[in-house]
A = this chain, B = another copy of it.
Amino acid sequence: MVDEKLPDVLVSRLGYLLKHVQLKLSDAVALALSPFGIDGRELAVLSVLAAEYPLSQLEVAGRLRVDRTTMVALIDALEGKGLVERRRSPEDRRKNMVGLTAEGHERLLKADKARQEVDRVFLAPLGEGDAGRLVRDLQILLMAEQS
């Protein structure tokens, strides 16, 4: 990327800041996760499944705020890697219940540790207090009813 100074007119814009900070973190996460053969979204799926197990595809999609059609390909990829498995729900045979495989659980632990370390290093320039407050503030903004 070009080593160009950021114009003041942009660094005062919340939208520009959020977008580019997100991109920067996203690059760092992608790099850190590459040895584990998964990307950030796939890791998020594994994390959700580890917390609530098992969930239907639609439920996973709802948790992650992605479309159910997007979830199909996501689960396809994870199933192809042997990290999750689908099985029809006996109670409602329209539903695919998705669960972690043993390998999926193991991969999750290793990869999420790497992700946490990326977050930690990424936030380090703020100092501990401000880093915690940033996370809390982002949570508040995400939850806020009308913005």
B-contacting residues of A (Cβ < 8 Å)? Answer: 1-2, 4, 6-22, 24-26, 28-29, 40, 44, 47-48, 50-52, 62-65, 115, 119, 121-126, 130, 133-135, 137-144, 147
Contacts and interface: CB of A to CB of B under 8 A. Distances in A.
Contacts of A25: 14-15, 18, 147
Task: Report the 7 A-B pairs with minimum CB-CB distance, sorted nearest first.
Answer: A17-B138, A18-B22, A122-B147, A125-B144, A9-B51, A14-B119, A4-B62
Chain A contact residues, majority secondary structure: helix
A119 B20 CA distance: 16
Stoichiometry, copies per complex: 2
19 contacts: A1-B65, A4-B63, A7-B48, A7-B52, A7-B63, A9-B47, A9-B48, A10-B64, A12-B135, A15-B25, A15-B40, A15-B119, A16-B44, A18-B22, A18-B138, A122-B147, A124-B147, A126-B141, A134-B137
Contacts of A63: 4, 6-7, 10
Contacts of A51: 7-9
A13 B130 contact: no
A119 B29 contact: no
A19 B7 CA distance: 23
